[in-house]
Amino acid sequence: MAVGIFDSGLGGLTVLDAVAKKLPDLPLAYYGDNAHAPYGVRDADDVFDLTCKGVKRLWEEGCDLVILACNTASAAALRRIQERWIPPQKRVLGVFVPLIEALTERDWGDNSPPREVAVSNVALFATPATVASRAFQRELAFRAIGVDVEAQACGGVVDAIEEGDLILAEALVRSHVDALKRKMPRPEAAILGCTHYPLMEQVFRDALGPEVKVFSQANLVADSLSDYLERHPNMLGDGKASVFLTTGDPAKVSDQATRFLRRKVEFRPA
């Protein structure tokens, strides 16, 4: 009954942690492609190939449902995976949908025409690859009209978080928020479009100011997954135990993940 969680590195652990709290009895198989992180500077074909490799490995662990807890993979590879590659008995879901559901206050199954929503000026903070894909804007356009999205590519933030340099990460976040505000002085809402960014959520909030509503992904994805599994219990795979897999150095990644989650985590080779 395992569910897989895929990420290019450690950021997806924020999603895993939220899912584990929401569904404590659900075995989770985590795949971190640390050897090839970060994905945010790779081209779409490269991201697609690496994502498919990781998804296949999670299928081997008994996961019929895999969550791409990586915005870059969701932006650059998910639609191609769903349309051309995935077998009918499997499912691969991304992390944009729960964000857009929350922002537009309408369920993904609501196929009525796009309509105006509560906010009109939205700041999107994401990796360079996610920003370049315009995937968030494309998906939002199916649901809402009249929303101006200003995207800020947050170069360096993921690397700093992965290296544990939170002082540098904080400085970079404040710099990127300043750059965004020069383009959109008064955003009404902000999307933290990377699963690493919840670790910097308070920094984003402080830099943006109290009048900006901040949407972060981990809890939204956990709630969405819980609802999905209630509606599709057949998508629970036959995996029985939680496991952490990495393409990187297991000892180093385990140490980083332990600091990341503030609890002992042991990775093994993927």
Residue from 52, 63, 70, 154 carrying the catalytic annotation: 70
Single out the catalytic residue among 52, 63, 154, 194. Answer: 194
Rounded CA-CA distance 128/150 in Å is: 13
Is 66 within 8 Å of 93 (Cβ atoms)? yes
Judge whether 194 counts as a catalytic residue: yes
Q: Is 153 helix (H, G, I), strand (E, B) or coil?
A: strand
Q: Is 70 a catalytic residue?
A: yes
Please tell me the distance from the alpha carbon of residue 36 to that of residue 111, in angstroms, as a whole number. Answer: 37
Exposure b/e, 79-104, CB count within 10 A at least 16 = b: ebbeeeebeeebbbbbbbbbbbbbbb
Most distant CA atoms of the chain, gap in Å: 50
Amino acid letter, 209: G
Local structure of residue 109 (DSSP, 8 states): T
| Strand segments (E) across the chain | 3-7, 28-32, 65-68, 91-93, 115-116, 121-126, 144-145, 148-153, 189-192, 213-215, 243-246, 268-269
At position 155, the amino acid (one-letter code) is G
SS3 35: helix
**84: which 2 tokens?**
């051309």
Q: Which amino acid is at 67?
A: I
Burial grade of 267 (CB within 10 A; 0-12, 13-18, 19 or more): buried
Burial (0-12, 13-18, 19+ Cβ within 10 Å), 43: exposed
Please identify every residue annotated as catalytic: 70, 194
